[in-house]
Chain A
C-alpha cells in the first residue's frame, strides 16, 4: 500500500512564527504536491515538485515556500505565519506515469 505521512495532525502556531510541514512518501514517486483545503473552496494547489530539488508554483504560492532535498520528502514552509494561513494542509504524491494522487491524512494548522 502506498503510504503518505505528514509530520503532524494538528499544529498551533503564533503569528510571525516560521512553520515547517513535512511530508514523506514510501512509493518512490516522482511528483509531490502541497494543497490547502478550506470550506467552500475545495483543494487549492500551493506548490508541487516533479523531481528532487525541482519545484513549481501552484495556484496560491504566496506566503509559502517548499523544499525537496530527497525524493521521498517534500516540505512546506511558512516563513512568517499569518492568521489567514489557518487551514488544513494536504500533501499528495503521484507516480511519474500515473494519474492517481495519493494523499496524506492532512495537518490542521491554526495560526493565532
Chain B
C-alpha cells in the first residue's frame, strides 16, 4: 500500500534556505506533488514533478526526486515569513481518477 511520510516540524530563520523532506513507498507513482496550506485555508498546489524527472526548479522552489530511495524534497531559497505554512507531499498512482495519497504535512515556521 501507499505510505507517505514527512517530519512534522521545521524551523528556519528568514533568509535561510528551507529543505522539507518526504519519503514514499509506492514505486508506481506517476506524479509527486508539493501542496501548501496557509493558516485557515485549504491546500494549494505549489509544484509537482513527473516521476521520470529528477529535478524541477521554479523560481525559489527546487524539487529533487530520488526514485531509487523513494525520496522527494522541496527546497525554498531565501525563505520569507510568508512561507510559514504546512507543506504536504503527495503522490498519485496511475488509475482512472489519479488517486492521490498525502503525507502527514510539515509545519514550516520562519523566524524573523
Is chain B a partner of chain A in the same complex? Answer: yes
- A99 close to B98 (CB less than 8 A): yes
B112 adjacent to chain A (CB < 8 Å): no
Check if B55 is an interface residue, CB within 8 A of chain A: no
Residue of A42, A98, A99, A102 touching B104 (CB-CB under 8 A): A42
**Chain A residue at smallest Cβ distance from B100:** A101
Measured between C-beta atoms, what is the minimum distance from B73 to chain A in Å? 17
Given known contacts A41-B104, A99-B31, A100-B48, A106 and B41 CB-to-CB distance under 8 angstroms: yes
Within 8 A of B (CB), among A33-72: 35, 40-43, 45, 48, 50
Is there an interface contact between A105 and B88, defined as CB atoms closer than 8 Å?
no
Query: Is the C-beta of A74 less than 8 angstroms from some C-beta in chain B?
Result: no
Smallest Cβ-Cβ distance to A42: which chain B residue: B104
In the assembled complex, the Cα of A45 lies from the Cα of B93 at a distance in Å of 14
Give the size of the chain B interface in residues (CB under 8 angstroms): 24
A24 on the interface (CB 8 Å rule)?
A: no
Q: Please give the number of chain A residues whose Cβ is less than 8 angstroms from any Cβ of chain B in the complex.
A: 24
> A90: which B residues are within 8 A, CB to CB?
42-43
Question: When A and B form their complex, what is the total count of cross-chain residue pairs whose Cβ atoms lie within 8 Å?
Answer: 53
Closest chain A residue to B96, Cβ basis = A50
Shortest Cβ distance from residue A25 to the other chain B in the assembled complex, whole angstroms: 12
Q: Is the CB of A43 within 8 A of B92?
A: no
Find out whether the CB atom of B98 lies under 8 angstroms from the CB atom of A104.
Answer: no
The 8 Å CB contact of A43, one of B41, B48, B102, is B102
Q: Report how far A94 CA is from B92 CA in the complex, Å.
A: 12
B82 at the interface (CB under 8 A from A): no
Assess the B48–A104 pair: CB atoms within 8 A: no
State whether A48 touches B97 (Cβ < 8 A): yes
Residue on B nearest A104 in the bound complex, by CB: B42
Q: Are B42 and A103 in contact (CB under 8 A)?
A: yes
Cβ of A4 under 8 Å from chain B: yes
Residue of B nearest to A56 (CB): B97
The verdict on A31 contacting B45 (CB below 8 Å), with A40-B104, A105-B40 known, is no
Q: Is the CB of B40 within 8 A of A42?
A: no
What is the minimal beta-carbon distance from A26 to any residue of chain B, in angstroms? 15
A-B contact pairs, 5 of them (CB 8 A): A4-B42, A45-B99, A92-B43, A98-B98, A99-B31
